[in-house]
Copies of this chain bind each other. A is one copy, B any other.
Amino acid sequence: MTAGQGGVPDDGRRRVVIEAVTPSVDGGRFAIKRVVGDVVRVEADCFADGHDEIAVRLLWRAEHEPEWSSVSMTPHAHGNDRWTASFTAQRMGRYSYTVEGWVDRFATWVRDMRRRREAGQDVAVELRIGAALVAAAMARAAGEPSDEERLRGWAIRLADGAVDQAMRSALALDPALLETMERYPDRSHATRFERELALVVDRERARFSSWYELFPRSTSPDVERAGTLRDVIDRLPYVAGMGFDVLYLPPIHPIGTAFRKGADNALEARPGDPGVPWAIGSSDGGHTAIHAGLGTLDDFRALVSAARGHGLELALDIAFQASPDHPWVAEHPGWFRQRPDGTIQYAENPPKKYQDIYPFDFETNDWPALWDALRDVMAFWAAEGVRVFRVDNPHTKSFAFWEWAIGQLKARFPDLILLAEAFTRPKVMYRLAKLGFSQSYTYFTWRTTRSELTDYLMEVSQPPVSESFRPNLWTNTPDILHETLQLGGRPMFEARVILAATLAASYGIYGPAYELMEAAPREPGSEEYLHSEKYQVRHWDGHPSDSLSGLITTLNRIRRDHPALQSNERLEFHEVDDDQLLAYSKRSIDGQDTVLVVVNLDPARSRRGTVSLPLERWQMDPAGPFQAHDLLTGLTYTWRGQENRVRLVPGKAQAHILALRPLGITVALESDR
C-alpha cells in the first residue's frame, strides 16, 4: 500500500512538506533547459504543521558528481510559503536538482526566546532546552574541532545556573552562535521532494544563434557545373560577413535514382536532373557517405575547418529516411515495412505517393539495431566535428527513439545542438522539445498579423513552454515561400527578417533566395518556390545592388551587440494605436539593455501611431526624457514620457530598432552605425 492508501511511511517524523517545485516540465518527467552560465532560480512551496520554523535548502549536482551541492533557500518577500534559491549552471551536460526541508528546532527556539525576553518571562527551563540543542549540534560538529569546542562552550554557558538569566538569554541571540548552529543543522527528519528534477545545460548557441541555409550544389560560380563543398568554402566569407554563426546544409549524401523527381517536382526526372537531396542513399552509400558530386570526406573536413575559421559552425541535415537505392534497403530489409507483394512500403499520404522515399519502420522487431544505426549516423558526423544538426521531420519518427538517442548522444557530445524541423501540431512540437531537441522550427512563417505574432510569441517565450522549447524563427525555407513574401515586395522581406531577428534569440533564413528576394511561387496559391533548389541546381547572382545583405548584416551586428536580443525571457509587447504597427521590447537580465522594436506590418502604406511604454516598471522616469537610438539608421531621438509617436514609411523605414537609454549616456562599446 502506498501512503495515500494508508501505508505506513518509513519515518513518520518527517514533518516538512515540499510541493510545487519550479521550474519543471510535466512535473519532472522531462528536463528543463538552460545554457552555461545561466542562473537557475528554483522555487518551492515548503511548510510544516504547527508553528515551528523550518529550514529549506536547494540541492543540485551535475551528472556523475557523487555529492550534492546545496544552498539555503529563503522565503519570498511576499510570503505564501514560497521559498527560493538559485544555482549557476557551470558546465554543459545534465544536472539534477531537488529541495530538502526540515523543522529547525534551534531557529524556533531562538525566535521564541526573543519573544519570551521581550515579555520578561522566566526562561530557566528554556535555556536548558537551548543548551541541549547546542550540545546536539556539537556532536554533529565532531569533524570540526574548533566549532565543536565553541559549541561546547555555548552549551555550558547557556545551562550554567550560576550565571544571570538575562546574560544567558542574551547569549542565545549571539549571531556567532546562530551562524555556527546553521552549519550543523539536525536534518535527521528532513523531507526530500519526491522527484529529482533534471536540467540540461547547453552551450550558449543553443539559445542564441543566427542560421543561414544554402544548397551546396547551387554555389558554383560557373554556370556550366554544379557547386561543391569547395565552392561552399569560397562562399563562407559572404555568409560570415553577414554575421551568421550557423551554416546549415541540406543533406550532402548520395541521392537515389529510383523514382527520382525532376525540376519543379516533376514525377519523372529528365537526364541530368540532380534529384532531391532528402532521397538519401545510392550504391555510393547512405547517411555517412558524401555525394560524389559535392566532394570527398576530406573536402568536408576542410569545409568544417574553414567555417570554424570564419566563426561559422556547420549544421548538417539529419533526415532519417532512405531512397530505394540506399544500401540499408538490401542490408536490413527488416528496418522497412514489407508489403505482401514483396516490395517495400514507400512513403505516402494517400492518395499521394512518394515512391522515391522509404520510411523506416519504427515498429520493426529489429528496432534495437535500427535505433543503434540511426544514433550512429549522428555520432559519426559529431565525431567529424559537426555539433549542430537540423533534424528533418522528427515527428514522423518514434518519440521514444528521440528521447533515447538524444540522451545517448548528449552524454557523449554535450555541446550537441539539435533543431527540430517539425511543422506539425503544437503538442507534438512541444513533445519533441521535451524529449531533448535544443531548438524548434515554429509557426512564425504563418503568423503575420499583429495579434497572431503577439499571441504566438507570448506562448513560446513563457513557461511552461519556454522551459523546454526554444523557438528558431525562419523567414523562409526551401519548402515555404509565404504569400506575404510573394506579394509584399522588398518592404515585406525587410519586415519579416527584422521580426525574425528581433522577436527570438534564434532565427534563420534560407538564402540566397531570401536576401535576393526570390518571390515567385511554382504556381499561384502554392508556397513552393518556382524552380526550387530542392529539385534542381541554381546559379545565383553574386551581389546585386538591391540585396538585403546589408540590412541582414546590420541586424546580426545589432543582435551581437545587444544582450537583450540574445534571449526570449523578457519579451513584451506594447500598445500602439495602429494595428499594422507591432511594438515589442526585450531587456537584458541585468536591465541595462533595453531594445524597443516597432515594425510596420503593412508593406504598402505609411503608418503612424503612438507607442505606450511601461517606463515605471522599467525603473525609468515615467515623465522624463530619454534617448531612443535607432540601431538601423544611427539616428537618435529624444523621447519623453510613456507615450511617443512613430511613423514608418515603406521604402524608407519599415521598422525602428531602438536602444532606449537615459539622456546623455553614450555607449562607447557599441558598434553603432
Contacts and interface: CB of A to CB of B under 8 A. Distances in A.
A20 B428 CA distance: 13
A128 interface: yes
Contacts of A103: 363
Interface in A102-144: 103, 111-112, 115-116, 118-119, 121, 124-125, 128-129, 132
Interface stretch (A4-12, A504-512, A587-595): A4-12
Nearest to A103: B363
B401 A3 contact: no
B400 A6 contact: no
Contacts of A403: 3-4
A68 to B, nearest CB: 18
A407 B49 contact: no
Interface string A23-67: 000111111000000000000010101110000000000010000
B367 A404 contact: no
Nearest to A129: B340
Copies of the protein in its oligomer: 2
A35 B30 CA distance: 34
Contacts of A339: 125, 128-129
A362 to B, nearest CB: 6
A424 to B, nearest CB: 9
Interface in A539-592: none
Contact of A431 (B19, B111, B198, B398): B19
A125 B436 CA distance: 39
A112 B426 contact: no
A401 to B, nearest CB: 6
Contacts of A436: 4
A345 to B, nearest CB: 9
Interface in A436-465: 436
| Interface bracket on A | 35 or more
Interface string A407-445: 110110000000000000111100100001000000000
A81 interface: yes
B350 A7 contact: no
Contacts of A395: 49-50
A396 B47 CA distance: 11
Contacts of A523: none
A399 interface: yes
A431 B349 CA distance: 50
A425 B47 contact: yes
B121 A351 contact: yes
Q: By CB atoms of chain B within 10 A, which of A119, A125, A128, A371 has the most?
A: A125
Given A3-B403, A8-B371, A13-B363, 8 more contacts: A4-B31, A4-B436, A8-B368, A20-B26, A29-B194, A128-B339, A128-B340, A129-B340
21 contacts: A3-B407, A4-B403, A4-B436, A6-B408, A12-B371, A15-B362, A15-B400, A19-B431, A27-B28, A29-B194, A47-B425, A49-B428, A51-B349, A81-B428, A112-B348, A116-B351, A119-B351, A124-B341, A129-B339, A129-B340, A189-B363
Interface of A: 1, 3-9, 12-15, 17, 19-20, 26-31, 45, 47, 49-51, 63, 80-81, 94, 103, 111-112, 115-116, 118-119, 121, 124-125, 128-129, 132, 189, 194, 198, 339-341, 343, 348-351, 359, 362-365, 367-368, 371, 395-401, 403-405, 407-408, 410-411, 425-428, 431, 436
